[in-house]
Structures are given as structure tokens and as C-alpha cells.
Amino acid sequence: MVQLIEDRGVDDPEVAAAMRAVPRHRFVPDDYGRRAYGDHPLPIGHGQTISQPFIVALMSEALGVEPGDVVLEIGTGSGYQAAVLAAMGLEVYTIEIIPELSERAAGTLGDLRYDVEVRTADGYFGWEEHAPFDGIIVTAAPDHVPQPLVQQLKPGANMVIPVGPIGAVQTLWRFALAETGDLLAESLGPVTFVPFTRAEE
């Protein structure tokens, strides 16, 4: 799995080591265990998916973070992305709006002894108590960039987020918050993510 990812251009050694270390099969339903290491997304229930390994690696690398940095993930899902970030030596806070997924992910992460703080909430508003963050990663696609997340970035930090309409191809963006307060955008290519769910929905 990791060799395929590296062949596609993701070559950050911290990301590769983390993805070799995290047992991906523990984060998918038992019925899909044999497919856990294929480079494709898999359903995890409640209309959600675990992202394909290449996308997890690409987004982790694009954060541009270092061990010890504090990161926020929006969309815990299975907990796999959070586990990869924790294995990279990051301090990880993650938010999931679906209680059943949040509880399951917290249990899996705890069983595997990944020190990740999981919260059940509407991720649109971020986690202000722990801001500002050295990086923010969003694993569901809103139709616009949530301003509260931008406000919780440290100057110089990156947010990696898919943005686009529901049911269509989205664009994966890396937004860097400049020291001037400007948000600098870089497209990382087309992607397809589940929609960003809000509390009122």
C-alpha cells in the first residue's frame, strides 16, 4: 500500500512511516477487512467512508507539519486519518458530528493507544479552546471554506480541505494563512468526498 502511495509522488518519510505503522484494517467494518489495504475508499456506515490511502497520505503531507505540532481534524469518521496524524507525532484533536462514529472511533483509537482527543460536535465551528492550530485537515466537502476554521489557523499554517458541490467532483485545496492575514490557495487536484454535514441538517 505504502509503495503504491510513494510511486504516486507522496514521499514524506513521516507520512510513510505512520501509514506503515497504523493497522488500517482495525478502522474498517469486519466485512471489509480483506480490502482494507487497497487504494480505494470503503464504507464505514451512516453514509460515510474511510478515505483511500493515497488521499490520506496526500492530505497528511500537504499539511506541512512537524512532530509536536497541534492539528485539528474535522470529520473523524473511522478515526484512521487521526491515527495517521498521531503516528506522525502530532497532537491531534478531531471532531465528528455523528455520535455513533465518534464513539466507535474513540474506542478504536483508545484500544490502539493513539493519544487523540475526540469530540462529538458540528465541525464547522472548529475547536476554539485549543486554537490556534499548526494545521487543520477537513475530510468532508463543504461548498465553501468555513470562516471559523480559517480564524483558528496559526499564521503560516495550512488547512487542507475539499470544497465543492454535493454529488459532483470537488477540488482539494491547501490554504496557507499568510502573516499578513491573507489566505493563499493552492489546488491539489480533483477529489470526491462525502458532503460536509451540519448540525441543522
Rg, Å, the chain Cα set = 15
State the pLDDT at residue 4.
84
State the pLDDT at residue 97.
97
Q: What domains appear along the chain, each with residue ranges and CATH number? A: 2-191 (3.40.50.150)
Mention every residue, 6+ apart, whose C-beta is less than 8 A from residue 193: 51, 139, 140, 141, 162, 170
State the pLDDT at residue 201.
52
Q: Residue 5 carries which side chain, given as an amino acid letter?
A: I
H helix or E strand, kind and range, residue 3: helix 2-7
User: How big is the CA angle at 127 (ends 123 and 131), to the nearest 5 degrees?
Assistant: 140
Pick the catalytic residue: 51, 60, 78, 102?
A: 51
Q: Is 51 a catalytic residue?
A: yes
State the pLDDT at residue 168.
81
Residues of the chain with pLDDT under 50: none
State the pLDDT at residue 77.
96
- Cα–Cα distance for residue pair 112/124, rounded to 1 Å: 28
